[in-house]
Amino acid sequence: MTVKNPELIPLFEELKKLLVPYEKHFSPRKDEPGYYDLWLEREVVVDGRKRDSIYFAGLIIQKSYVGFYFMPVYTHEEAAGLFGSELMATLKGKSCFYIKELTSDIEQQIRDALDIGLRLYQERDWA
């Protein structure tokens, strides 16, 4: 994979450090420069339908930002109200945050989001 903006690699790597501890519960499907994601690789039931796996979170370097994709915001709509205003200001669409810089507030709010997301998944036996 060609990295769209190599200048964002340091930001990507800092964000990746926040996700790597979750490999205890989820498996990376793709782990390469500029792309990293975490999946639960077992059968789960989502809205009454069986699935072979479920996405948790990931990072992709885009043209001018690192996309932090966070599925618990999509699968648990109530989760969006739990995040800090700095992180919520970067939310574009339903589950993608456009991270252009990692301030201490945004870093802490991502850490909190990951912890909340893990708890929400565990409540549904998805982790």
Architecture of domain 6-121: Alpha-Beta Complex (3.90)
**Sequence spans of domains, the chain:** 6-121
Tokens representing residue 30 in the block:
């793709």
Per-residue pLDDT tens for 106-117? 999 999 999 999
Q: Is 92 helix (H, G, I), strand (E, B) or coil?
A: strand
Per-residue pLDDT tens for 45-87? 988 899 999 999 999 999 999 999 999 988 887 776 778 899 9
Distances (CA, A) of 87 to 2, 9, 12, 44, 47: 27, 20, 16, 29, 27
Look at the pTM and tell me if it is higher than 0.75: yes
Q: Strand 66-70 vs strand 91-92: parallel, antiparallel, or unpaired?
A: unpaired
